[in-house]
Amino acid sequence: MLITTPNLTRADESYARLIATHDGLTEAESHALNARLILILMNHIGDHAILAEAMRLARDPRPAAP
């Protein structure tokens, strides 16, 4: 089951680190970094159903129909 409620430890610090990771990159380099990060995290999650639900939610953030 995809966790959609706040679940980050040190959320502000994690967000700041993500932003800092992009410092000094061109737009293309930043997009490539995001793509690599997504693939790394997808591999870590590993569950196709969870990933499919996350992609659906990212594309259309409205709640799924019951």
| Residue 15 dihedral angles phi and psi, to the nearest 5° | -65, -45
How far is residue 25's CA from residue 31's CA, in Å, rounded to a whole number? 9
Amino acid identity, residue 5? T
Does some domain include residue 14? no
> How far is C-alpha 32 from the geometric centre of its chain's CA atoms?
14
For 46, the domain range is 24-59
Does some domain include residue 34? yes
Structural domains of the chain, count: 1
Please write the tens of the pLDDT for every residue from 48-60: 999 999 999 999 9
Please write the tens of the pLDDT for every residue from 12-45: 999 999 999 999 999 999 999 999 999 999 999 9
